[in-house]
Amino acid sequence: MTVHSIGSAQPPAPTGNRRVALVAGGAGGIGQEVAAELLRNGLAVAIGDIDAQRAAAVATELTQIGGEVIWVDLNITEQSSVSRALGEVEQRLGPIDVLINSAGWNHAQSLLKSDEAYWRQMIDTNLVGGIRVTHAVLGGMIDRGYGRIVHIAGEAGRAGTANQSLMSAANGGTIAFVKAMAREVMDKGVTVNCLSPGPTATPMLDQLIQYAEDAAEMVASLRGAVPMGRLGHPSDIAPVVAFLASEGAGFVTGQTISVSGGMTMV
């Protein structure tokens, strides 16, 4: 039996019967798991990352899942790199329907010990980079009447984290950007959302711990901050991102969803 809903709107049919996703930062811990989840859900996926060698290795590994997966060299802090990478994705897979902004950089440092070069790198990578890629794909999404944009911004943007004031500022700016963009395009068939992970076991966290004065104390502190008593894993994050990127999430926009083991409850 077929049930028809009065006033329901179905998204436009995807080109070639499948959607195309770009995962910026797709060679990272969370990005790789998100790319795998999108592939399992039937999307064609482009792995975009500044570490081209790692991106190529991830794409090769993910071919075991099946479907279409490619990699592109992508530096979100350079407009020329963004334009070149997006052009390659569209040429090889087609127009981008789904954008996952998971690229980032973190190095804990107190404000007084930091300098302007550090500020610029932190803000450009973790805030402006995501804006830059969003700007590049948004026009096409609006023209086609369909798009899903998901930004990854850590809990520091909601709660603030000691010795991560610039990361907190960048993540907080991303959350505000998501809300504003969602309002701008909500009548265009495009949704914009944010996923906010708690402390998650990734290579980026490993690097952060490496530079800590007392690594064991830092790990214990991170675990202690999570009510569930453990660090998150990329596999905890990816299914939620995949939902926000799905056609079924068409009535969800402007949201920041915490995946943090109960650390943040709204």
Tens-place pLDDT, residues 98-147: 999 999 877 766 667 778 888 888 889 889 999 999 999 999 999 999 99
Domains of the chain by start residue, with CATH:
17-259 (3.40.50.720)
**Three-state SS annotation for 105-159:** CCCCCCHHHCCHHHHHHHHHHHHHHHHHHHHHHHHHHHHHCCEEEEEECCCHHHH
CA distances from 146 to 73, 96, 99 (A): 25, 10, 12
β-strand partners of 190: 147
Q: Is the pLDDT of residue 199 over 90?
A: no
Instruction: Name the more confident of 165 and 27.
Output: 27
H-type alpha helices, 193-258: 203-210, 215-225, 234-244
**Coil, strand, or helix at residue 48?**
strand
The pLDDT tens digits of the residues spanning 88-107 come to 999 999 999 999 999 987 77
- Can you give the pTM of this predicted structure? 0.85
Q: Which position has the token pair 């809300």?
A: 179
Instruction: Name the more confident of 7 and 184.
Output: 184
